[in-house]
Structure 1
Amino acid sequence: MRGLAIGEASLALIGPTLLGAAGTVLGGRLSDRLGGRPRLLVVPSMLVVGLLLPLLPRMPSVPLFVACVTVLGGVAGLAYLPCFSVPLRSLPAGLTGAAGGVIMFGGQLAGVLSPGVFGYVVEHGGYSAAFTALLVGPALAIAVVLVVPQTTERFRARFEPEPELATAR
């Protein structure tokens, strides 16, 4: 990272990691208070993430880069647990583990694929293009949360069979 030794770079990223963890906890608490309506937290936080991502490669100094990444980590953390809230509240207890596993798998898969895609874009388009390409994540999060049911009642209604189909069996 901008001429820092690997040890210095890892120390510089402690703040973003800690604020990301704090954002995750705060996002979960806020999600509970908002009745699990993820849209109210995910959309604003992903808009802020979308504004900050393209700024990263343009930061003129390491301290400003670290400050931007720290804010970005905290704000992104706000959206993490709200994405779990509606499915985990709505599904029968016997399915919450599987649902959590599917959600976590998606996040882990993205975490595995992202560095390769990022490196490819850096190699062929440069750092600015790569950080701009990261905007797919917040855009996808916003798009999904806008179509996902926001309450337990609507979530369950979306996945229950239609009454006429249930009686036809």
Structure 2
Amino acid sequence: MNVPPAANGKHKYLVLGLLCLGWIINYFDKVAINVAVIPISQEFGLTETQVGLILSSFFLSYAIMQPIGGSLADKFGSRKVILFSVVCWSLFTILTGTAWSFLSLIAIRFLFGIGEGSYPSASSVAVAESFPQHERARAKSILTSATTIGSVLATLVAATLSNHFGWQAMFIVLGILGLFLALLYAKFLHPGGSQSGIAKGAKEKLPLKDLLKISMIWKLTAIYFGISMVNWGMMSWMPSYMVKVRHLDMVSMGALASIPAILSFVTVLATGWMLDKRLVGREKHLIAIGSFIGIIALYLLSKAPTVALVVTYQTIASIGLGAAVTTTLTMPLKYIDPSSVGAASGLIYLGGQLAGVIAPTAMGFMIQQFNGSYSAAFWLLIAATAIPFFVGMTLRPGPTAGQQPPQAMSAGS
């Protein structure tokens, strides 16, 4: 088994820490729009459907860039792709603060998605470059947990900045923060030590047509699509739901949003440890159980009579789906040859970002059609959660961490 050059040194933890910081700031820039659309929709007189289109325009280009960014990271190493991504998304975050109309927001958010779209799969490549196979689930779970920290802080910080300084200033501040991150990466981010990529000294990566023959990748893509329908749907519309339907102010809404995310953070870390230590080869059970918990909790959330119960059921759903999504995203790092991790991860992330295209607009359309009621929108999320439950039960992982890595997986595996 190929062991990355940095696998036995302290350097891998510096790489992981920097990647976590990147994910947190990534979520600052990504999630801020979900808070900002509340004052933006008032300022520009937007309908719920138009708001959904603004939110979805980002995910369309973001989805397109997932496999492209992963393939580029496989070929050139993760560092170059990550640096390019951070600079681009930071500049377009600043530009978002200058938007003057509905159409300008659509265009800017689309370009923003192109800039940010390479980061997820490139960061997975960086983990594969820096960590041996038997540590990758824990490393990836730490990265995934950083997204929950980002979503917690993003909602609270964005609500506070927007409330005190206006949504335009909020985007400019967050974009400048991203440019500082790019400078930090330029100096300190060197995944795999002195080597530029995992392909050096390793076998050639699988051609895309061979990757597409691996059924596990298609199943993981479908699973991630279903989970992401819930994640992006909730992230896009729960701020509006809590303010408009539950009548909270924006700062209170941001504070309450941290509770499900904090519990999800703990779940993700625990899941990564279990995947490396206890559940090798049994990942499908964790995906199915987590998804079933999500289905029940989302149904109860849609019927909850009080704010306290809304937050409680949202927290339970976050715990279940947090376990399922961590399992899904770590499987390529364990069961796909390191030289093809970027392309494989990019295909799986593509499914999640396609959900990001669909969920905000579909939920906005349903809310508008049902005169401001969120009930039908919640049922859409419940139906989406059934996808990882049923597909997850059909997973059959390839060789485990102690065996030959599955560059050798058969097309029907």
TM-score class, shorter: 0.7 to 0.9
When structure 1 is superposed on structure 2, of 42-51 and 135-144 the one drifting more is 135-144
**What residue is the counterpart of 2:250 in the other structure?**
6
Give the structure-2-normalised TM-score.
0.36
Q: Which of 262, 265, 268 is the aligned partner of 1:21? A: 265
* Pair 1:118-2:118 in alignment: no
> Map of 1:74-153 to 2, 5 A cutoff?
74-125=319-370, 126-152=373-399
- Write the deviation string for residues 101-121 of structure 1: whole angstroms up to 9, x where unpaired: 222232233234312111212
Q: State the one-letter code of the partner of 2:254.
A: S
**What residue is the counterpart of 2:298 in the other structure?**
53
Q: State the one-letter code of the partner of 2:347.
A: V
Rounded to whole Å, the distance in 2 between the matches of 1:38 and 1:48 is 16
Please state how far the C-alpha of 1:36 moved relative to its aligned partner: 4.2
Question: 1:152 aligns to what SS in structure 2?
Answer: coil
Please state how far the C-alpha of 1:13 moved relative to its aligned partner: 0.3
Please state how far the C-alpha of 1:23 moved relative to its aligned partner: 1.7
Tell me if structure 2 keeps the 8 A contact 1:37–1:86: no
Please state how far the C-alpha of 1:79 moved relative to its aligned partner: 0.6
Rounded to whole Å, the distance in 1 between the matches of 2:262 and 2:281 is 24
Question: 1:147 aligns to what SS in structure 2?
Answer: coil
- Write the deviation string for residues 20-72 of structure 1: whole angstroms up to 9, x where unpaired: 22222222222222104221101111111101112213211111111111121
Question: 1:40 aligns to what SS in structure 2?
Answer: helix
Tell me if structure 2 keeps the 8 A contact 1:23–1:78: yes
Rounded to whole Å, the distance in 2 between the matches of 1:160 and 1:150 is 11
Please state how far the C-alpha of 1:86 moved relative to its aligned partner: 3.4
* Pair 1:67-2:319 in alignment: no
Tell me if structure 2 keeps the 8 A contact 1:49–1:75: yes
Q: State the one-letter code of the partner of 1:129.
A: A
Tell me if structure 2 keeps the 8 A contact 1:27–1:78: yes
Please state how far the C-alpha of 1:123 moved relative to its aligned partner: 2.4
Q: 1:157 to 1:66 in 2, by over 3 A?
A: same
Please state how far the C-alpha of 1:16 moved relative to its aligned partner: 0.9
Rounded to whole Å, the distance in 2 between the matches of 1:58 and 1:160 is 42
Rounded to whole Å, the distance in 2 between the matches of 1:103 and 1:21 is 21
Q: 1:85 to 1:74 in 2, by over 3 A?
A: same
Tell me if structure 1 keeps the 8 A contact 2:259–2:315: yes
Rounded to whole Å, the distance in 1 between the matches of 2:368 and 2:281 is 41
* Pair 1:37-2:308 in alignment: no
Please state how far the C-alpha of 1:160 moved relative to its aligned partner: 6.9
**What residue is the counterpart of 1:165 in the other structure?**
none
**CA RMSD between the two structures:** 2.2
When structure 1 is superposed on structure 2, of 47-56 and 28-37 the one drifting more is 28-37
Please state how far the C-alpha of 1:134 moved relative to its aligned partner: 0.8
Rounded to whole Å, the distance in 1 between the matches of 2:325 and 2:396 is 17
Rounded to whole Å, the distance in 1 between the matches of 2:336 and 2:399 is 9
Q: 1:104 to 1:36 in 2, by over 3 A?
A: farther
Question: 2:325 aligns to what SS in structure 1?
Answer: coil
When structure 1 is superposed on structure 2, of 60-69 and 135-144 the one drifting more is 135-144
Tell me if structure 1 keeps the 8 A contact 2:332–2:344: yes
**What residue is the counterpart of 2:95 in the other structure?**
none
Aligned length: 160
**What residue is the counterpart of 1:166 in the other structure?**
none
**What residue is the counterpart of 1:167 in the other structure?**
none
Q: State the one-letter code of the partner of 1:35.
A: V
Larger Cα-atom Rg: 2
5+ long unaligned stretches in structure 2: 1-241, 401-405
Tell me if structure 2 keeps the 8 A contact 1:84–1:100: yes
Q: State the one-letter code of the partner of 1:12.
A: L
Rounded to whole Å, the distance in 1 between the matches of 2:356 and 2:283 is 22
